[in-house]
Amino acid sequence: MGRQKPTLFLIFVGFLLVFPNCVRNNDPIVHKLFPDPPDTSNLFYLSNFTSMEVRKSVIFDTVFLENGELRKRGFISIPQDYDDFRFANLDNMYWRGDHVVGGDFRGTSFRSARCNEGDFSNSDFRFCDMRWSSFNNSCLTNCLFSRATLFRVHVNDADLEGSDLRGANMFGVEGHRTNFRNCDFTNALMKESEFLDADFTGSKAVLVKFIITVFAGAKLDSIDFSYADFTGAGLEDVSFIHSRLIDADFRGSHLQGANFTGADLSGCNFFAAEFESTIFTDAVNIPEGIKELIVDGQITGICSVGGNDN
């Protein structure tokens, strides 16, 4: 029996070393995805709320290419990759299928343009006025759209993965089936937009206004939606799996078939929201007013309490 004591001791020590890891591994996935509090510092604001000094500093700043060279001034009739189109008038431009990879459009007037099926990946559109333009089926990956004006822009079936849209005016944007994965929308305005069957997985959308926006069938998984406003939004069959929704506002929203599996719902307001087989399996920090409505992991009906009383 004396020979067994060292073995038992080693097993006990091993258990002590492993057990804390087991506890951590049992933490909700949403807490692992977002270990830090929501970041609302150094926010970008819409272009019309940004000072002229800041606008000029961004637009006039010299940005070199990776090889250390300056971009060449672009010719509107023959657009080329890495061209500089700052201060050009691109209103009503027709560039179907054209490529301007790595282009510089900072501060450019690019209104009512038709640039479908093009490649503008890695381009800089900061403070660009793109209202009413169409970039359907275009590649816009890893672009800088921060503080751009995208009012009523169409990006259906486009690819914007990895793009920066902080403080962008996206009022009325239409992006059906669009790839918005891993984008940053912090403090953007996306009111009255339409994103049917779009994919926003892994993005950041803190303090975004999605008022009356339609997301039916979209994937909104693993996103930080802290302080977002979904008032009156169409969220039928939307997936919020493992998303963080601290103090998000869902008043009057349409959540039939929505899926909040594993989401963090701390402080959410669901007053007058409509539910039908809405899934809350393994969600955490469910407000008390909502928790009491859950039957077999789901809710069907209309919420008559605010629900943000946690």
Range from 12-26, 42-56, 109-123 carrying the lowest mean pLDDT: 12-26
Closest CA to 147 of 51, 44, 63: 44
Q: Whole-structure pTM over 0.85, yes or no?
A: yes
| Nearest Cα residue to 145 out of 95, 106, 96, 190 | 106
C-beta separation of 244 from 267 below 8 A = no
pLDDT at 4: 52
pLDDT in tens, 171-223: 999 999 999 999 999 999 999 999 999 999 999 999 999 999 999 999 999 99
Counting residues of the chain whose pLDDT is more than 70, the rounded percentage is 90
Q: Can you read off the two tokens belonging to residue 243? A: 């998303």
pLDDT value, residue 112: 98
User: Residue 25's pLDDT is what?
Assistant: 53
Check whether 256 has a pLDDT greater than 60.
yes
Per-residue pLDDT, 19 = 43
Confidence of residue 307 (pLDDT cuts 50, 70, 90): low
Q: Spell out the alpha helix ranges (H) of the chain.
A: 4-25, 29-33, 52-59, 288-291
- What pLDDT sits at residue 17? 47
Q: Which of 20-24, 211-215, 264-268 has the least mean pLDDT? A: 20-24
Asked whether residue 12 carries a pLDDT value surpassing 50, the answer given is no
The single-letter code of the amino acid at 105 is F
Q: Is the pLDDT of residue 127 over 80?
A: yes
Measured CA to CA, the distance from residue 5 to residue 254 in angstroms comes to 63
Burial class (CB in 10 A: 0-12, 13-18, 19+), 254: buried
Ranges 20-34, 84-98, 122-136, 174-188: which has the least confidence: 20-34
Q: 204 φ, ψ to 5°?
A: -125, 130
pLDDT for the residue numbered 113? 98
Mean pLDDT (the chain, rounded) = 92
pLDDT score of 303 = 87
Over range 231-260, report the average pLDDT. Answer: 98
pLDDT in tens, 67-117: 999 999 999 999 999 999 999 999 999 999 999 999 999 999 999 999 999
Query: According to the model, what pLDDT value does residue 7 have?
Result: 55
Residue 264, phi then psi, degrees to nearest 5? -100, 115
What's the longest Cα–Cα distance across the chain?
Answer: 90
Q: Report how far apart, in Å, the C-alpha atoms of 245 and of each of 185, 205, 284 are.
A: 15, 10, 10
309 pLDDT higher than 90: no
pLDDT at 33 exceeding the cut of 70: yes
Burial group, residue 61, by CB count within 10 angstroms (0-12, 13-18, 19+):
exposed
b or e along 132-149 (b: 16 or more beta carbons within 10 Å of the residue's beta carbon)?
Answer: bbbbbbbbbbbbbbbbbb
pLDDT at 70: 92
Whether 224 has a pLDDT exceeding 50, the answer reads: yes
Q: Which of 12-26, 150-164, 284-298 has the highest mean pLDDT?
A: 150-164
